[in-house]
Amino acid sequence: MKLYYFPPSPNTSKVHAVALHLQLPLELQFVDISKGESHTPEFLKLNPTGRTPVLQDGDFILWESTAIMLYLASQVSNALWPDDIKTRADILRWQSWQLAHWYQACQTLSYENYVKGLLQQGEPDPQMIKRANEQFHQEAIVLNQHLAERDYLVGDTLTLADFSVASDLTYAELGQFPLEPYPHIRAWYARIEQLPAWKKTAPQG
């Protein structure tokens, strides 16, 4: 299987981390999105949205990082994506929450407080930051409360849900995420950061 990837992106790093954690061999193909390489005619044939990551498995092409993680974790029997249907639904619940709510707040803070300056795209927008901080607190309260009673998001072991939700904290420090009031999120994220696969794939910022 071949992964078209952009290592500084959490959407790429969580997919790559899952593959390493499961010891699934991947051929890696760097796509430099900062040079427009995800919008070439060749790449748009793989992913018409012009985004990374993309997985190629023979004739099968898959884009969207969450779908790629599910596909990878379905290759072998493993605890990240166990067979039990209620556990699977629970994992999907957290992945759905991440895509619909958590990602929005985290992405805006990362962009306004860090990426914008990095790419010289202007000053942070105080209104956007205020709104994203409000959104962040609204969701972080729920996540923190959930993690107060457990070490991982679903059941008592690491699953795909942890990879999905943790990936948005990759730029928490550089993006000035207001994490101080949330000790359980910080402790959980510190656990995820200790995973060998996470250490090998986490962007350096």
Stretch that binds ligand GSH, among 16-24, 51-59, 111-119, 149-157 (CB under 6 A): 51-59
Only segment of 48-56, 148-156, 183-191, 195-203 that touches ligand GSH (CB under 6 A): 48-56
End-to-end CA distance of the chain: 27
The torsion angles phi and psi of 30, rounded to 5 degrees, stand at -70, 130
User: Which ranges in the chain belong to alpha helices (H)?
Assistant: 10-21, 41-46, 65-73, 85-97, 103-110, 116-118, 126-147, 160-167, 183-193, 196-201
Residues 20-39 that bind ligand GSH (CB under 6 A): 33, 38
Asked if 51 interacts with ligand GSH (CB under 6 A), we say: yes
Q: Is 159 in the site for ligand GSH (CB under 6 A)?
A: no
CA distances from 201 to 70, 86, 178, 188 (A): 18, 30, 24, 18
Provide the 8-state DSSP code for 176. T
Q: Residue from 3, 4, 5, 9 that binds ligand GSH (CB under 6 A)?
A: 9
- Classify residue 13 as exposed, middle or buried by CB count within 10 Å of its CB (0-12, 13-18, 19+): buried
The residue among 115 and 151 lying less far from ligand GSH, judged by its C-beta, is 115
Q: How far is CA 124 from the centre of its chain?
A: 23
| Of the candidate residues 1, 7, 24, 50, the single one contacting ligand GSH (CB under 6 A) | 50
Q: Is 52 in the site for ligand GSH (CB under 6 A)?
A: yes
6 is a contact residue toward ligand GSH (CB under 6 A) = yes
- Indicate whether 95 belongs to the interface with ligand GSH (CB under 6 A): no
Stretch that binds ligand GSH, among 45-53, 142-150, 162-170, 197-205 (CB under 6 A): 45-53
Judged by the rule CB under 6 A, the positions of this chain that interact with ligand GSH are 6, 9, 11, 33, 38, 50-53, 64-66
